[in-house]
Chain A
Amino acid sequence: MKIKVLTIAIFLFLILVPEYIIAQECTNYHKTGDCQTQYKDRYRLSSLSKSYYLQVGKTVKYEVVLYGEYEIIIQCCTNMDKYNIRFKITSSDNGNEIYDNKYNDYLNNLNLLLDHTELMSIEVSVEPKKKKYEQGKVCIGMAIYNEKE
């Protein structure tokens, strides 16, 4: 009985704790790697930036106010060797799609300037480059950079 209980306990520990640790480590992923902009002298990281531990095949949606007349960079990242990162921007007001990087060779960044402030929805997902990467979870980052004044 003791051995059975201990085996279950160890099994749960091995399965769940590493995932929890990875999810915690993912918190600041948007500050690293392919989410970093090469224009650090002109842009600074906005607090709207976010990282997420995403199930492959699912989408995370961010509702965000994008201010008019401010130039911003939206730069998304993940393990780019295994996945393409896809992001779509739609108007939260009427659902109209504004941009989808699928039609821009999955380019992971967008330099954006809106005339007017708008509430936008940014949907981020990953598309596996090989069938073997279709399962599991992956860390994704969405860095938003504002132009320095």
Chain B
Amino acid sequence: MIYKRLLLILIFSATSILSYSQQTGEVYYLYPTPGELIEVIDNGDLSFKKDLLNPEENLPSYIDTKSRNLNLGIYMADMAYSAFFSKRTKVMGYLEVIGKLSNYLLISSQIKQNLVNDFTNNIDNFDSIYHFTNVYYYEIMNELEKNNNTNIMTLIIAGAYIECIYIATNLAEYENNSALIQKIAEQKFAFVNLVKTCELRKTNRNIAAILNPLIEIQTIYNNVKMTEGTKRQMIRTNDGKIRFTGGPKLKMEKAEFLKLQKSITRIRTEIVNNK
């Protein structure tokens, strides 16, 4: 009898192992950390505005899987934004909140403890804090992927992206040729990937629930037109680099920007208020 049980356990393990290894040939949608995203957007002149952050006090209202994971993404983006502007107290506050929310994820306590130690040991070094914000996010995602928790990953990424674009659109004033508006327009591609990722996993009801708001954002972005620009050329520079010049460029009009700002603010407010 015990042998049969052993065989059943092994067959069950084998099935899950095979499902892991049969992923060959898949398409992967890759996303930067919120910190990296904020760094890219900052090229268009960001500033720090604490009213835009999700208060730590909202934590107790996140009692279901969807709100916990979406708001984990939002808090991670807020921590990256605070770290980017060297707001130490805010970062430590968010570190605690994120720690509590990630207790619901299957992440080893050793990894979490190491990350918290890295933060607390380097609290006086702002560059390190910013660096560890990225590492923290990356390690959590890595661990979730290893454990095949891709649905949770998708919700966290969606929350983080929504928060980053919410912050950027609420800091920007529309001006023609504004670098910040251009960076916001360029996030169109990230939302294309995000919607594709969610489409693949929409059998999960939490992902199905976030898919419609993401499609709403993508629909607005679809009106942001690609201008043809100059012909793409590949140039090999003297130091061996390859540079692609020309190619298509996005152009966001004021009406599209205002629509995006309104929509993303409403969607983000619904998530943080857990409506």
Give A residues with C-beta under 8 Å from B: 2, 5-6, 8-9, 12-13, 16-17, 19-20, 23-24, 27, 46-48, 50, 52-55, 58-65, 67-71, 92-93, 98-99, 110-119, 137, 146, 149
Cross-chain contact of A99 among B26, B242, B249 (Cβ < 8 A): B242
The answer to whether A67 touches B40, judged by C-beta atoms less than 8 angstroms apart, is yes
The answer to whether A63 touches B29, judged by C-beta atoms less than 8 angstroms apart, is yes
Chain B positions 195-241 with a Cβ under 8 Å from a chain A Cβ: 196, 226, 229, 232, 234, 240-241
Given contacts A9-B10, A63-B193, contact A110 B24 (CB under 8 A): no
The yes or no answer to B134 lying at the interface (CB within 8 A) is yes
Given contacts A9-B10, A67-B40, contact A60 B28 (CB under 8 A): yes
The yes or no answer to B63 lying at the interface (CB within 8 A) is no
List 4 additional contacts besides A16-B17, A17-B17, A113-B243; criterion CB under 8 Å: A19-B21, A63-B193, A112-B241, A115-B245
The answer to whether A118 touches B247, judged by C-beta atoms less than 8 angstroms apart, is yes
**Residues from chain A with Cβ under 8 Å of B189 in the complex:** 65, 92, 117-119
The answer to whether B226 touches A93, judged by C-beta atoms less than 8 angstroms apart, is yes
Which has the most chain B C-beta neighbours within 10 Å: A71, A98, A117?
A: A117
**Residues from chain B with Cβ under 8 Å of A16 in the complex:** 13-14, 17-18
**Residues from chain A with Cβ under 8 Å of B190 in the complex:** 65
The answer to whether A115 touches B244, judged by C-beta atoms less than 8 angstroms apart, is yes
* Chain B, residue nearest A68 (CB): B186
**Residues from chain B with Cβ under 8 Å of A47 in the complex:** 31-33, 36, 134, 137-138, 141
* Chain B, residue nearest A28 (CB): B142
**Residues from chain A with Cβ under 8 Å of B40 in the complex:** 67, 70
* Chain A, residue nearest B34 (CB): A47
Closest CB of chain A to B114's CB: distance in Å?
15
The answer to whether A114 touches B3, judged by C-beta atoms less than 8 angstroms apart, is no
